[in-house]
Structures are given as structure tokens and as C-alpha cells.
């Protein structure tokens, strides 16, 4: 890498010698966009919790695929009585089981957590578990 | 009329070749992109003026020894750049 | 220190920057902490340019400016991405609030932190706008059927959308107040009389911007963030004057909201008032108590006052029977 | 607030308000040798409070507040009040720092040059930094390294060293005569004990250093050292920074400059003694 980054204009004269170029495979990706690692260190600066489901939708059941369904829906699970700790979720995401749940129930809750989105309670906490660490 | 592809103006980019990859900071979006060939070359080819896909392919052929001049693959590359906002369809 | 330790400290510094000369270090600390909590730290930084201040305060404010400048860049980029997604529909797209201020380079945009992107489009075009956004990478935030139905039936906007790559929200409005609220602004006039920006998007005209800010403050919210809202109004009045404002406010059914907003802005920031508007409303003092309920630790204070305004905000948005239904549905979900 | 404490840690000033005396008393003891914020004005405010008035007394729970908060923070018990204060200060840095590029890394200095270590929690970057401190290096920080976009220098942020689980006994043996905080058992992160950085590290906290080596340590394997491709270093550091994106162009310039000018290595180590030897060997070969 250059010691000093330069503006593109100054940086790239047109090639004097023809350089080989490959467009590559249609399915491959050639651009990585850096996303904010907002919560990346939050796991280390803070302990956080994830409610299943979030309070705005308390009372709904969690289906096997993690979607929320009306309470009483067959084969779906009632929400967890207590929020899960980040560490427990981390273990579950790596194949473990959430505390106080059956295997299927844990799978459903984990699926719910994976579907969390910005603005939903638990999202920031989940995001902090997702960031590549290293 | 064929779709034109317009790249972010060169003075809105800071380009830092890292190794095989190139880091690009886009001033307009505040985003950093790390890209492999041929993405930097495509941005470069579009720097002077917007081109449609066929003209872009021709320009890349003229400037480089293009190993696989496949329009479908070029379209995929352009889609990716459009997604980042570095290239705009017009 | 001799300065009341509530939001008036911040208001005074914004309205009269020279007043900070009397602050000791505790006063500075309280001022800066309050400004940050009210999202006015970068605004304060710009206002205090060129005023002597302790090194640590200068550094704090420089950081706030830099942070705001980056936020501005991101907000403008969201505007640009919305333009790319919607530009070909042939639909007027009107930027609202902070995005409009910064896109148009208004004084109200100086130091303004901008959150979500808010746009206004004709109600008849909502479906096309929605489809275009979904096609360009925006997704629904909440897949909840009750909330969704509620929004579509009663609100003045689509349920919020978020961009899957950029993590930024967009609120698509078709008018500036919920359909359940009592004033019914003239949405067609808002769009018809909007002003085109160089990039092809629009912003409300200045009177409508003030009407919108006032409507948002009194008819739609519990006054949290009100100091910033009133500062927006103060700057807009400063920039554009108040010549046609009263007339325009009447047309939208917002005459009393706009009068109150200006009276409060006058009380906090010394905003100029049209003749005959100065007489204070009976409960202006209560509003001021709510607006300035912030202490030097950045905490909200006066919980009872705040609760009263919170209840009021729901009351205003919904007719009583509907409010009951809304609270009942929410309660049922809590109770499971 | 009832109880107040303030401190400067490197270039950053903090103010901590607490509903209880306990956490503030612990901070006063452990940060006794630290200066106060410049001009008496802190960059960040932290609040430790009870979410309900009776929670001050009855099964007290410490809520974490401040200028910047994450909505899902879990409260801590009052016995862990010191940890709550430390986490809250870190959180202000993670979410609010805008002057320096914040790297989630430990850093030590020798001869005016900085060694920056970043990696997974559990990789031992904190313990390694603390051990190096006992062997002639100056500790710049065990959690965050601050990269100055203007100068390219690393600024120190030598907060209390946060020792977890096995690292506690290791450092109790290595830092004899060191000042330790109380042992906090069964916190959400396991056992924690804080160690005050040594006198020299605290005294030199305002002296920045030029970055000379970036290290990615991994614990639990046979000793090995690898080069790391610059693009990988770049991406890993963007992900080890909470404010890279927020610093916009300054962040990009600072990071590309750091990556271009600083060698980087990954080391695997089976135990801390080997790690120290590997670090010293690498340092000598620069």
C-alpha cells in the first residue's frame, strides 16, 4: 500500500502496457462494504439481554421458523418468561440450547433472534454477538 | 435507449491500493469499500463519461487484455457497484 | 452559578452566546451535557464559534461538530439514494424536517442531527412509492399485523421501512399529522406549493415548514425533543420571516399550534413575534416546564409534568373510543 | 447526583454520578493517582442509578446510564458497582468517542514505540499487556488504543486493567505490590478483579507513541507466527473499531496510514510465557 493515499485522478495513469483483466464469475462478489461495528465491543463493555419476543409483541407465540404467531398457535411456543443473557444466546447460536428450554423451543427462539431487526428490542445485543471478532 | 452507467466522480473517491485489494472511501456516502479486480478498473473506465454496458465492455477490451469478455458477468459486476451507490443507472 | 439548572441554561446559551462568559466549570459541564442530551450539541458548537471558552469545552464542541458533519453526510446520501429509487416515478417527493434543512442548506440545518429520512408524497401514489422502495432494498421493520393495519388505516405515513444494507429508516408520509388528529392540514396544498431543489426533489415552503414543525411538536408528540424542535422554528423564522405565516397556519387548521410554538420559541430563544401574538397562553408556563425538564446530568426531570404530556399526546392523536381500543389491544398483548 | 467522581484517563475526561457511595468510594481508591479532567470539564458523563427509588435499598440494582446508552443493558448488583462504572465508561468511549479512532485493542510502549494487540476476547490481549507491564513495558491500555488521525500516533487510555477468571491469579503472582480492586465474583462475565496500572504507566499517560507492530494473538495452539495480509488487517481493524464509520474520511485516512506503515503478525501461543517470548523476539526483529 502507498504510504500516502492519493486521489484517484492523480493515482492511476492509464496502463502503458496492456494488463490482463478478468471479469470473474457471475456469482462471485468483488466488493466488501465496511459496515459499522457499532456494537462490536459492546459485548465486552456491557452485558446485554434479548427478550423473546420484545415487549411490544409480548404474548405472541414463536413458531419453529422464528416468526411470531398468535398465542395458542399449534406447534408454536409461548414467549420466554425472562430475557436471555448475551452469553446464553452466543452458546445457542453455536449449537447449544438456551437455558430452561427444550431443544425445539430453543431452536425456535434462536430463529426468532436471528430475525431481529434494527429497532426491535434485543437487536443491538444480537448485533454485538454477530460481529466478526478477531 | 440502453441504460447508461455513471460512476461517482473521481474527486469524490479516495483510492488506496492495499495489496491485491483496493480500499476506496466514497466521500458522498461516507462508506468504505474494499474491492478486488475488476471493480476498480470498471470505476476507472467510467470515470470520464457514463457508458452503456456494451461501450464499457469495448473500453475494457481496449484498455486491458480481457480474458473473459462475457456481458452477463459484466452485468453482475455492475449490479454490485450500483448496489454500493458508486455507480448509478441512468 | 446563578443560573437555573434546567433547559433554560441551554436556551440562554443558544439565544445569547455571549452569556456563557459567566459560566464556571460546573456550569459548562451542565450546559454541554444538556446540549448533548437534547441533540443540540453541534448546534451549540456553531452558535459558540468565536466565543472564548475553556479548552476542554472547545474540544467537546469540536467533536460534536465533527460528529454532526458525518451524520449530515450520511443523511444526504440517504436523500440521494431515495432520489435514485423514486426519481423516475414522476411523483413529487417532498423532503421533510432535518433532511430538507440540510439538503437546502438552510440555517436551521446548521448543527442539526438528522435521524430517519422523512418524505411526503401524494396519497394516491403511496403504492407506487412503496413498491419502488421495496425494489431498491428497503424492507419493513415490523412484520406485526396489528401495527401494520393500524398504520395503514390511521396514520399519516406508511409503516417504517429500513434499508437492508445501509440500516437507515425512511418514513413515507402522505400528510403531516395522523388522520385521527383533530387538525387536518391541507396535504394537497403542502405538495402543490412545495419548492423544487436542484436535485429534483422538493421541500415544503417556509411557512409550511414552520406549520409542520409546530404540528409535530404539539399535535403529534409528547414534547420530548421539544427544545430542538423550537430551535428549528426559531431558525426558520429568522431566515424567512413571518409575513404569510398566520394565514397559512389557518388554512391547515394549525393556527393555535403555530401561535403557541412561536410564543414558546420567543420565550426560550427570543424569536420575533407577529404583532398581537405576544400575549401568553394560559398554560404556556406548563409547556415551558415540560420543555426545559432536563438537569445538568442530562437526566429528564419533572416526571409528573412529562407523564401529563405523554397522556395528552395519545389523547390528541386519537378520538377517545379509538384510544380505548388501542390501549386495550396493547394491553391484551402484554397480558398474553 | 448524590455521589460524584471525576477522572482523566489519558486524553479523555469522565464524570461518574452514583446513587450509592460504594462504587464512587472504589473508584476514588483505585484512581487516586490519576489527574482530574482538564478545566474541570469531562468529555463524558456516566450515571449509576436505581430504576425505582426503593431499589436504592431493597435488593439494589445498578442501572447504567450516561450520555450514550444501549437500550438492552442489563442491571448489575450493587456489589458489582465498580464493574458497572467501568463498563459504563467504556460504553461512552465505544459509542461516543469522535476525536480518535477507537481500536478495541491493548497497547504497550517501549522506546517511544507502541505494540498494539487486538483479538477475540479470551485471546489474552489484556493479560499479555498487563504481563508486559511487569516486564519493563509501559502499559498504554488493556482495552482501547486511541489512534490520532492528525498525527498517526497512538494515545494511551490506561484505565484500570480488567482481569478475568484465570488471569486474576496470573497477575496476582506477577504484579506483587500492585494495587488491586476487590474480587468481584460471579459477575455476568465471570470473576473480575481490577488492577491499577503501575506508577510509570499512569505518570506517562499523556505521552503518545508511534505504532510499530500490530499483533493478533490467539491462545491455545502451538507457538506459531504468521504474516497477515494488509487487506485482512484493514478489515479486522475496521471491525475492531466502534467508531471507524463515524469518523468518516478521518477514519479512512488514519486506518490506511496505520496499515501501510505498520507490520502486522498473528501469533498462536500455548501459554503466556511463550507469548512473551514470541513478542520479544518479534519486537527485536523489527
Tell me the pLDDT tens digit for each residue of D60-74. Answer: 999 999 999 877 778
Please count the residues of chain C. Answer: 336
Average pLDDT along chain C: 89
Rounded to an integer, the average pLDDT of D233-250 is 91
State whether B34 and D252 contact (CB < 8 Å).
no
Question: When comparing pLDDT for D150 and D187, which is higher?
Answer: D150
Q: Residue C294 belongs to a domain with what CATH number?
A: 3.30.460.40
C vs D: CB pairs below 8 A: 62
* C-beta of residue A38 within 8 angstroms of C-beta of residue D242: yes
Rounded to whole angstroms, the Cα distance separating D19 from D93 reads 22
Question: When comparing pLDDT for D52 and C284, which is higher?
Answer: C284
Q: Strand (E) positions, C149-308?
A: 161-163, 169-173, 195-196, 202-203
* pLDDT at position C1 over 50: no
Nearest CB to D91: which of A46, A50, A125? A46
Cell numbers standing for residue D124: 489474552
* C-beta of residue B53 within 8 angstroms of C-beta of residue B71: yes
Rounded to whole angstroms, the Cα distance separating D53 from B32 reads 47
Closest CA to C229 of C197, C265, C259: C265
Which residues of A have a CB under 8 Å from any CB of D? 1-5, 32, 34-50, 83, 85, 87, 121-122, 124-125, 131-134
Cβ-based contacts of D119 with chain A (< 8 Å): 133-134
State whether A47 and D244 contact (CB < 8 Å).
no
Domain interval for residue C284: 74-335
Closest CA to B63 of A13, A10, A23, A19: A19
Cα separation of the two ends of chain B = 10
Cell numbers standing for residue C99: 433532511
| CATH 3.40.50 domain extents, chain D | 101-285
Rounded to an integer, the average pLDDT of C72-79 is 96
Rounded to whole angstroms, the Cα distance separating D244 from D242 reads 6
Residues sharing a CB contact under 8 Å with residue D140, sequence separation 6 or more, in sequence order: D106, D107, D108, D109, D114, D154, D155, D156, D157, D158, D201, D209
Rounded to whole angstroms, the Cα distance separating C305 from D194 reads 42
State whether D47 and C299 contact (CB < 8 Å).
yes
* pLDDT at position D77 over 80: yes
User: In this prediction, what percent of chain B has a pLDDT beyond 90?
Assistant: 86
Cβ-based contacts of B37 with chain A (< 8 Å): 21-22, 30
Q: What are phi and psi of C136, to 5 degrees?
A: -105, 20
State whether D231 and B32 contact (CB < 8 Å).
no
**B26–chain D Cβ distance below 8 A for any pair:** no
State whether B29 and C77 contact (CB < 8 Å).
yes
Closest CA to A48 of A56, A40, A36: A40
A vs D: CB pairs below 8 A: 100
Rounded to whole angstroms, the Cα distance separating A49 from A17 reads 58
**Residue C206: count of CB within 10 angstroms of its CB:** 21
Rounded to whole angstroms, the Cα distance separating C234 from C215 reads 15
Nearest CB to C57: which of D39, D67, D250? D39
* C-beta of residue D109 within 8 angstroms of C-beta of residue D115: yes
Residues forming a β-bridge with D107: D116, D141
User: In this prediction, what percent of chain D has a pLDDT beyond 70?
Assistant: 99
Nearest CB to D252: which of B20, B21, B32? B32
Crossing angle of helices C7-15 and C255-269, in 10° steps, is: 80
**D77–chain B Cβ distance below 8 A for any pair:** no
* pLDDT at position A42 over 50: no
Rounded to whole angstroms, the Cα distance separating D263 from D66 reads 38
What's the pLDDT at A40? Answer: 45
Closest CA to D47 of D13, D16, D74, D20: D16
Cβ-based contacts of B30 with chain C (< 8 Å): 70, 73-74, 77
Which residues of A have a CB under 8 Å from any CB of B? 1-2, 5-9, 11-12, 14-15, 18-27, 29-34
Rounded to whole angstroms, the Cα distance separating C205 from C212 reads 10
* pLDDT at position A44 over 50: no
Look at residue B21 and give its three-state secondary structure. Answer: coil
What's the pLDDT at A45? Answer: 45
What's the pLDDT at A43? Answer: 42
Place A9 in a pLDDT band, splitting at 50, 70 and 90: very low
Distance from CA of C333 to the nearest CA of A (A): 5
State whether B16 and D245 contact (CB < 8 Å).
no
Cβ-based contacts of B19 with chain A (< 8 Å): 1
Instruction: Tell me whether residue C9 is in a domain.
Output: no
Cell numbers standing for residue C180: 385521527
CA distance to A133, D139, D230, D267, per residue, from D258 (Å): 20, 20, 10, 19
State whether C165 and B83 contact (CB < 8 Å).
yes
Place D285 in a pLDDT band, splitting at 50, 70 and 90: very high
Q: What is the dihedral of CA B56, B61, B64, B68, to 10 degrees?
A: 100
Cβ-based contacts of C29 with chain D (< 8 Å): 15, 40-42, 45
- Closest residue in chain B to residue D257, using alpha carbons only: B16
**C167–chain A Cβ distance below 8 A for any pair:** yes
D26-53 pLDDT tens trace: 999 999 999 999 999 999 999 999 988 8
Closest CA to C257 of C205, C287, C228, C217: C217
Residues forming a β-bridge with D155: D146
Residues forming a β-bridge with C117: C170
Look at residue D246 and give its three-state secondary structure. Answer: coil
Look at residue C192 and give its three-state secondary structure. Answer: helix
Cβ-based contacts of B33 with chain D (< 8 Å): none
State whether B29 and C74 contact (CB < 8 Å).
yes
Q: What are the residue ranges of helices labelled H in B3-85?
A: 39-45, 53-63, 71-84
Rounded to an integer, the average pLDDT of C1-29 is 89
Rounded to whole angstroms, the Cα distance separating D153 from D113 reads 9
State whether C29 and D1 contact (CB < 8 Å).
no
A121-131 pLDDT tens trace: 777 677 666 54
Rounded to an integer, the average pLDDT of D200-229 is 94
CA distance to C45, C287, C321, per residue, from D246 (Å): 18, 35, 46
What's the pLDDT at A115? Answer: 79
Neighbours of chain D (3+ CB pairs under 8 A): A, B, C
Look at residue D196 and give its three-state secondary structure. Answer: coil
Place C327 in a pLDDT band, splitting at 50, 70 and 90: low
β-strands D12-18, D44-49: how paired?
A: parallel
* C-beta of residue A12 within 8 angstroms of C-beta of residue A2: no
State whether A118 and C162 contact (CB < 8 Å).
yes
β-strands C117-120, C169-173: how paired?
A: parallel
C171-224 pLDDT tens trace: 999 998 877 667 889 999 999 999 999 999 999 999 999 999 999 888 667 788
Residues sharing a CB contact under 8 Å with residue D8, sequence separation 6 or more, in sequence order: D14, D34, D35, D36, D37, D38
**C141–chain A Cβ distance below 8 A for any pair:** yes
Rounded to whole angstroms, the Cα distance separating D123 from D190 reads 16
Cβ-based contacts of A31 with chain B (< 8 Å): 33-36, 39, 80-81, 84
* pLDDT at position C313 over 80: no
State whether C80 and B27 contact (CB < 8 Å).
no
Closest CA to D127 of D161, D101, D93: D161
State whether D70 and A42 contact (CB < 8 Å).
yes
Residue C130 CB-density burial (10 A; 0-12 exposed, 13-18 middle, 19+ buried): middle
Residues forming a β-bridge with B32: B25
Chain Cα centroid distance, residue D106? 6
User: In this prediction, what percent of chain B has a pLDDT beyond 70?
Assistant: 99
State whether D41 and C70 contact (CB < 8 Å).
no
Indicate the domain borders of chain B: 12-89
B24-43 pLDDT tens trace: 999 999 999 999 999 999 99
A94-107 pLDDT tens trace: 778 899 999 999 99
- Closest residue in chain A to residue B62, using alpha carbons only: A18
* C-beta of residue D270 within 8 angstroms of C-beta of residue D223: yes
Instruction: Tell me whether residue C59 is in a domain.
Output: no
Phi-psi group of D190: left, alpha or beta (phi > 0 → left; psi -120 to 50 → alpha; rest → beta): left
Rounded to whole angstroms, the Cα distance separating D276 from D281 reads 9
* pLDDT at position D99 over 80: yes
Rounded to whole angstroms, the Cα distance separating D240 from D260 reads 17
Residue of B11, B17, B18 to mutate when probing chain D, most D C-beta within 10 A = B18
What's the pLDDT at D109? Answer: 98
State whether A39 and D70 contact (CB < 8 Å).
yes
β-strands B22-26, B13-17: how paired?
A: antiparallel
State whether A21 and B11 contact (CB < 8 Å).
no
Question: When comparing pLDDT for D189 and C123, which is higher?
Answer: C123
DSSP state of D63: E
Cell numbers standing for residue A109: 427462539
State whether C55 and D47 contact (CB < 8 Å).
no
* pLDDT at position C104 over 90: yes
Poorest-confidence range of C24-33, C214-223, C229-238, D222-231?
A: C214-223
What's the pLDDT at C163? Answer: 87
Rounded to an integer, the average pLDDT of C318-328 is 64
Instruction: Tell me whether residue C54 is in a domain.
Output: no
In the numeric block, the cell 447504567 is attached to D64
Cβ-based contacts of A55 with chain C (< 8 Å): 334
Nearest CB to A23: which of B15, B19, B73? B73
B vs D: CB pairs below 8 A: 36
Looking at the domain covering D101-285, what would its CATH class be? Answer: alpha beta
What's the pLDDT at C159? Answer: 84
What's the pLDDT at C220? Answer: 63
State whether A5 and D253 contact (CB < 8 Å).
yes
Nearest CB to B14: which of D244, D245, D252? D252
State whether C55 and D38 contact (CB < 8 Å).
yes
Distance from CA of C62 to the nearest CA of B (A): 19
With residue D123 as reference, give the H or E element that holds it.
Answer: none
Please count the residues of chain B. Answer: 90
What's the pLDDT at C336? Answer: 36
Q: Which of B73-87, C274-288, C311-325, D60-74 has the highest mean pLDDT?
A: B73-87
Residues sharing a CB contact under 8 Å with residue A106, sequence separation 6 or more, in sequence order: A92, A97, A98
DSSP state of B12: G
Amino acid at each position: 500500500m502507498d504510504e500516502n493515499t492519493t486521489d484517484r485522478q492523480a493515482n492511476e495513469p492509464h496502463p502503458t502496457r496492456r494488463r490482463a483483466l478478468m471479469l470473474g464469475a457471475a456469482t462471485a462478489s468483488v466488493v466488501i462494504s465496511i459496515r459499522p461495528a457499532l456494537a462490536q465491543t459492546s459485548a465486552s463493555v456491557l452485558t446485554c439481554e434479548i427478550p423473546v419476543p420484545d415487549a411490544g409483541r409480548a404474548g405472541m407465540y414463536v413458531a419453529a421458523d422464528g416468526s411470531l404467531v398468535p398465542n395458542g398457535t399449534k406447534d408454536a411456543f409461548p414467549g420466554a418468561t425472562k430475557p436471555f443473557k448475551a452469553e446464553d444466546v452466543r452458546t445457542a447460536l453455536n449449537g447449544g440450547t438456551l437455558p430452561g428450554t427444550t431443544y425445539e423451543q430453543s431452536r425456535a427462539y434462536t430463529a426468532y433472534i436471528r430475525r431481529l431487526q434494527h429497532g426491535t428490542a434485543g437487536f443491538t445485543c444480537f448485533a454485538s454477538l454477530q460481529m466478526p471478532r478477531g | 435507449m440502453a441504460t447508461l452507467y455513471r460512476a461517482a466522480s473521481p474527486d469524490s473517491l479516495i483510492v488506496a491500493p492495499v495489496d491485491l485489494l483496493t480500499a476506496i472511501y466514497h466521500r458522498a456516502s461516507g462508506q468504505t469499500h474494499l474491492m478486488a479486480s475488476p471493480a476498480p478498473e470498471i470505476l476507472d473506465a467510467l470515470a470520464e463519461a457514463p457508458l452503456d454496458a456494451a461501450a464499457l465492455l469495448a473500453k475494457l477490451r481496449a484498455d486491458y487484455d480481457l480474458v473473459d469478455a462475457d456481458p452477463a458477468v459484466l452485468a453482475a459486476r455492475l449490479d454490485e457497484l450500483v448496489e454500493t451507490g458508486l455507480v448509478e443507472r441512468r | 452559578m446563578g443560573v437555573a439548572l434546567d433547559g433554560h441554561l441551554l436556551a440562554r446559551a443558544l439565544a445569547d452566546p455571549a452569556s456563557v462568559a459567566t459560566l464556571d466549570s460546573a456550569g459548562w459541564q451542565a450546559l454541554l451535557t444538556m446540549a448533548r442530551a437534547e441533540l443540540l450539541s453541534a448546534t451549540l458548537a456553531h452558535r459558540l464559534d468565536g466565543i472564548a471558552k475553556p479548552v476542554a469545552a472547545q474540544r467537546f464542541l469540536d467533536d460534536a461538530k465533527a460528529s454532526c458533519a458525518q451524520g449530515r453526510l450520511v443523511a444526504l446520501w440517504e436523500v440521494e439514494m431515495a432520489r435514485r429509487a423514486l426519481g423516475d416515478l414522476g411523483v413529487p417527493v417532498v423532503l421533510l424536517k432535518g433532511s430538507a434543512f440540510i439538503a437546502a442548506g438552510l440555517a436551521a440545518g446548521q448543527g442539526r442531527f438528522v435521524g430517519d429520512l422523512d418524505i411526503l408524497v401524494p396519497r394516491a401514489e403511496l403504492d407506487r412509492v412503496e413498491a419502488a422502495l421495496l425494489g431498491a432494498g428497503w424492507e419493513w421493520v415490523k412484520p406485526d399485523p396489528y401495527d401494520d393495519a393500524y398504520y395503514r388505516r390511521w396514520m399519516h405515513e406508511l409503516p417504517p421501512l429500513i434499508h437492508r444494507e445501509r440500516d437507515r429508516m425512511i418514513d413515507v408520509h402522505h400528510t403531516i399529522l395522523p388522520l385521527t388528529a383533530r387538525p387536518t392540514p391541507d396535504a394537497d396544498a403542502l405538495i402543490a406549493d412545495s419548492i423544487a431543489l436542484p436535485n429534483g426533489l422538493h421541500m415544503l415552503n417556509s411557512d409550511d415548514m414552520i406549520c409542520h414543525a409546530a404540528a409535530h411538536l404539539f399535535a403529534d408528540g409528547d414534547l420530548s425533543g421539544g427544545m430542538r424542535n423550537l430551535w428549528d422554528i426559531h431558525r426558520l423564522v429568522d431566515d424567512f420571516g413571518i409575513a404569510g405565516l398566520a394565514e397559512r397556519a389557518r388554512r391547515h387548521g394549525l393556527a393555535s399550534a403555530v401561535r403557541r410554538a412561536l410564543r414558546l420559541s420567543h420565550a426560550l430563544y427570543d424569536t420575533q413575534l407577529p404583532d398581537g401574538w405576544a400575549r401568553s397562553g394560559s398554560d404556556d408556563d406548563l409547556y415551558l416546564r415540560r420543555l426545559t425538564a432536563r438537569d445538568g446530568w442530562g437526566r429528564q426531570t419533572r416526571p409528573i409534568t412529562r407523564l401529563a404530556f405523554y397522556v395528552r399526546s395519545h389523547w390528541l392523536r386519537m378520538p377517545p373510543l379509538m384510544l380505548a381500543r388501542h390501549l386495550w389491544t396493547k394491553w391484551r398483548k402484554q397480558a398474553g | 447526583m448524590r455521589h460524584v467522581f471525576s477522572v482523566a484517563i489519558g486524553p479523555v475526561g469522565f464524570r461518574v454520578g452514583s446513587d450509592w457511595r460504594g462504587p464512587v468510594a472504589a473508584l476514588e481508591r483505585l484512581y487516586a493517582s490519576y489527574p482530574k479532567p482538564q478545566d474541570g470539564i469531562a468529555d463524558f458523563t456516566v450515571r449509576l442509578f436505581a430504576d425505582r427509588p426503593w431499589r436504592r435499598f431493597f435488593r439494589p440494582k445498578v442501572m447504567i446510564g450516561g450520555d450514550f446508552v444501549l437500550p438492552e443493558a442489563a442491571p448489575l448488583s450493587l456489589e458489582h458497582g465498580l464493574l458497572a462504572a467501568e463498563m459504563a465508561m467504556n460504553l461512552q468511549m465505544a459509542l461516543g468517542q469522535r476525536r480518535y479512532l477507537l481500536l478495541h485493542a491493548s497497547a504497550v510502549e517501549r522506546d517511544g514505540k507502541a505494540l498494539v494487540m487486538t483479538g477475540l476476547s479470551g485471546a489474552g490481549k489484556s493479560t499479555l499487556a498487563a504481563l508486559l507491564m511487569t516486564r519493563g513495558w509501559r502499559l498504554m491500555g488493556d482495552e482501547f488504543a486511541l489512534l490520532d488521525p492528525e498525527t498517526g500516533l497512538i494515545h494511551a487510555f490506561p484505565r484500570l486493567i480488567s482481569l478475568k477468571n484465570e488471569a486474576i491469579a496470573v497477575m496476582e503472582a506477577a504484579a506483587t505490590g500492585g494495587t488491586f480492586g476487590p474480587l468481584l465474583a460471579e459477575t455476568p462475565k465471570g470473576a473480575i478483579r481490577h488492577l491499577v496500572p503501575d506508577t510509570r504507566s499512569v505518570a506517562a499517560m499523556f505521552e503518545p507513541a508511534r505504532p510499530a507492530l500490530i499483533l493478533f494473538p490467539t491462545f491455545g495452539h502451538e507457538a506459531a507466527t504468521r504474516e497477515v495480509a494488509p487487506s485482512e488487517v484493514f478489515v479486522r481493524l475496521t471491525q475492531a473499531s466502534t467508531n471507524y464509520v463515524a469518523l468518516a474520511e478521518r477514519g479512512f485516512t488514519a486506518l490506511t496510514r496505520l496499515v501501510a506503515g505498520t507490520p502486522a503478525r498473528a501469533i498462536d501461543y500455548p501459554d503466556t510465557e511463550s507469548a512473551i517470548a514470541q513478542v520479544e523476539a518479534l519486537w527485536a526483529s523489527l
